[in-house]
Structure 1
Amino acid sequence: MILHVATTNTGKLRDFAFAAEGLQADASGGPVQLATLPGLSALAAPAEDQETFEGNARLKAEYYARAAPGLLVLADDSGLEVDTLEGRPGVRSARFAADLGRSVETGEIDAANNDALLLAMLEQVNRRARYRCVLALARDGVVFATADGSLEGEILTDPEGAGGFGYDPLFFVPELGCTMAQASPEDRLRLSHRGRALRALLAGLEDVR
């Protein structure tokens, strides 16, 4: 079974590929194969204007599947949820700093978002948070499967580590004893919320070809 992933984000593709290694997807025992959706770069991205991860994942899967008849199209939406911020930044994780009116230079989005998060968390005692991903699988514009994956952690008061991307320098994982930015590439892939969502999605499929 080939899943055509509707993203050009190398980090996401790496997470999905690692999670798919060795997995069997259907009753015949066929392996999961991942490929970038053909012609993706020529398509205008849809507006991600839904209020939930699932809403955006479904919107994207339906949109891209209509542009690729007959193919299985996988789309995701993911981000950081902080309990004391009532789930923010959530679906706005990539635009958190901009939403707060902060100037964001090209190439400095991650740093600006991390600074915005630190400011928002300045007086907070409860620092529990999670990385969350929702996947939607569609064919011919119709979503027929969704799945959710998450990784629990805490937000630090200062960034630590230089690896990973996004909020990784602030996201401390208790089971690792370090931030995702300090974790080894193998641990980051093993614990990925995107990988967990993909494994959950495939576990719920029976005989899709």
Structure 2
Amino acid sequence: MMMMKFLLATSNQGKVKELQDLLADEEIEVLSLQDIEGWQEVAETGKTFAENAAIKARAAAEKTGLISLADDSGLEADALAGAPGVHSARFAGEPKDDEANIDKLLKLLDDVPDEARTARFRCSLAVVTPSGEEYTTEGMVEGRILRQRRGKGGFGYDSVFYVPDFGRTMAELSVAQKNKLSHRAQAFHKALPILRELKQRSAGG
């Protein structure tokens, strides 16, 4: 059977490897934006993670003619009415700075009692075909924002995001644990049946 190519619209090789590992038995090759000549970043103007993911996936499918996937994700703190949300990566402004983002988050939550510091990581994944079909999947991890950083792993807000089921922050989990638990891994897993169906269809059933 012919190897099929999908494009994951990211330059993050960690994300690419995560999807490749999930698709290891599927005879599907995952390309990234590093494989695409002349790619220009797309403005993520959506108000939700799903809108931003679709914007990126549509642009990638249009440029390459490949079935394209794109994800957008971030942190939602209940005490901040869902902020930082789609602004998670640049919460403290430009340029992107994980530590500055955490500092701003902790400062805003300073007077919030522990039981009200609930939050979640959310990821939306869009799958867009060159003919314009669109599919969306979502993953979510519930947790709580600590008052101090814990753990050296991960990135973003991982060191202050406590996962009750594990009794640890995201930054204290092993890579294998995080890859099973993460909001992005969940969204990828839910996309597998869609990708299999598209592959089968393109192969003529």
More helix by share: 2
Counterpart CA distance in 2 for 1:18 and 1:206 is: 15
Amino acid across the alignment from 1:118: L
Counterpart CA distance in 2 for 1:41 and 1:109 is: 28
The equivalences for 1:42-61 within 5 A come to: 42-61=38-57
Q: Which residue of 1 aligns with 2:13?
A: 10
1:180 aligns with 2:137: no
Q: CA deviation at 1:120?
A: 1.1
Q: Which residue of 1 aligns with 2:64?
A: 68
Structure 1 residues 175 and 63: alpha-carbon distance in aligned structure 2, compared to 1, 3 A threshold: same
Q: Which residue of 2 aligns with 1:109?
A: 97
Residues 22-44 of structure 1 show CA distances to partners (whole Å, capped at 9, x for unaligned) of 5xxxxxxx454422246446311
Q: Which residue of 2 aligns with 1:80?
A: 75
Q: Is the 8 A contact 1:63 1:141 kept in 2?
A: no
The structure 1 segments of at least 4 consecutive aligned residues displaced by more than 6 Å after TM superposition are: none
Counterpart CA distance in 2 for 1:113 and 1:141 is: 39
1:36 aligns with 2:32: yes
Q: Which residue of 1 aligns with 2:191?
A: 201
Q: Is the 8 A contact 1:15 1:192 kept in 2?
A: no
Structure 2's unaligned 5+ residue stretches are 200-205
Q: TM-score, normalised by structure 2?
A: 0.86
> What SS is found at the alignment partner of 1:142?
coil
Quote the sequence identity (%). Answer: 40
1:149 aligns with 2:144: no
Structure 1's unaligned 5+ residue stretches are 23-29, 99-103
Counterpart CA distance in 2 for 1:96 and 1:73 is: 28
Higher relative contact order (CA 8 A, sep 6+): 1
Q: TM-score, normalised by structure 1?
A: 0.85
Tell me the C-alpha RMSD between the 2 structures.
Answer: 2.0
Q: Is the 8 A contact 1:149 1:194 kept in 2?
A: yes
